[in-house]
A and B are shown apart, each in its own frame.
Chain A
């Protein structure tokens, strides 16, 4: 009548290191394909907005600064994103990528979660416009 069939494993574990990873003191390297934070390279963007249409959680917006010269600014809501990588696949020009290093994204306040990607001057212009629009009408809560 066998009882205690796990005994050998149990006793051996007493002399082994625990299997627990002591995060955050010890961090395992993330696998290469890890889907972390989104990054956007505006070089090849044609403004087709397929990525925006396909996003399941409305995490990305494209603000057109100048359509003729293809100057866009992408607004990325880190807190809406579900890291599914559909946008990466939808983009025919390879502008989007999910980082495999930047994945510790928990934060205490909402401010840093709305990220703007693009050329410096474009971002500055968009932020100016938003600030102007914000001063003219009362702030509407983000959807």
Chain B
């Protein structure tokens, strides 16, 4: 669907900016509520993520001794900014992306990686041993899932013949769902999304019982709120990407809500079903199984295209 709004309005209010932040909170609530229901619990009430954010913003921000003050304060802002920027390239809420150009798939993925990188930097900046280990794990995990995830998103790009997300969206809307045509790629992209968002079982970088909160340990108040908002926005954008590519494109807001919520349901189930993987097990899993499957899928696509052009 097309939305003719002034770019500044899109950036600040709708469908990016404030609306994207609000929907990030809604998706966080849905995620927590679904996980709770899977575990036979009640779960938080609807207003809980907003209450959390407001409370965090109102708290005192303690800057630990020995850190680079400027970096400490600026990194959460960069994280949130990067996440919001990625929202300009994907079909948020079923509307055409506000800034669509050739190759914006790479830019969107890069913006999301900047988020993870800033979290790693934030951890390395502080002197606490928990943060350092958390930062190491964050960056290690970044190196391990990036390649298979990108390859998995490349599959639909090859099928559509373009690197522009809005064009892939149109292609996916017109053809058979790529979830059926490229099932391996779908699985890799879904699991890769879990790795990107550091959801259990890939939450070794912020393993609560081992390293308190990983890279986020020393953050409190405003910085922490901004990081969390960044992660929520990343959740929405990640779901949008996978839904666009594999679940037949997003043509209007209704499709957006249904498809992303269905994906979130599956993600919540996968989050509750497994024990946490150690960081070395994560790397082993990704560089062996993940990369292999992604390459297999890619070869299958290339062979398929070659065969269709021949016959």
Contacts and interface: CB of A to CB of B under 8 A. Distances in A.
Contact between A and B in the complex (any CB pair below 8 Å): yes
B42 to A, nearest CB: 5
B209 interface: no
A14 B33 CA distance: 10
Interface in A60-97: none
Interface string A48-60: 0000000000000
A19 B40 CA distance: 6
B39 interface: yes
Contacts of B39: 10, 13
Interface of A: prevailing SS: loop
A20 B42 contact: yes
B274 A3 contact: yes
B41 A14 contact: no
A11 interface: yes
Interface string A126-142: 00000000000000000
B85 to A, nearest CB: 36
B40, B41, B274 pick with most chain A CB within 10 angstroms: B40
B37 interface: yes
B274 A18 contact: no
A7, A16, A22 pick with most chain B CB within 10 angstroms: A7
B36 to A, nearest CB: 8
Nearest to B34: A14
B38 interface: yes
A16 B36 CA distance: 12
B277 to A, nearest CB: 11
A6 interface: yes
B292 to A, nearest CB: 16
Interface in B25-84: 34, 36-43
B164 interface: no
B274 A20 contact: no
B270 to A, nearest CB: 8
A4 interface: yes
Nearest to B36: A18
Interface string B116-147: 00000000000000000000000000000000
B37 A18 contact: yes
A18 B42 contact: yes
Nearest to A4: B273
Interface string A11-33: 10110101110100000000000
A6 B273 contact: yes
A105 to B, nearest CB: 26
B269 interface: yes
Contacts of A6: 272-273
A11 B265 CA distance: 11
Contacts of B40: 13, 16, 18-19
Contacts of A22: 42
Nearest to A7: B273
13 contacts: A3-B273, A3-B274, A4-B273, A10-B39, A10-B273, A11-B269, A13-B38, A13-B39, A14-B38, A16-B40, A18-B40, A20-B41, A20-B42
Interface of A: 3-4, 6-7, 10-11, 13-14, 16, 18-20, 22
Given A4-B274, A14-B34, A14-B37, 6 more contacts: A6-B272, A6-B273, A10-B39, A10-B269, A13-B37, A18-B40
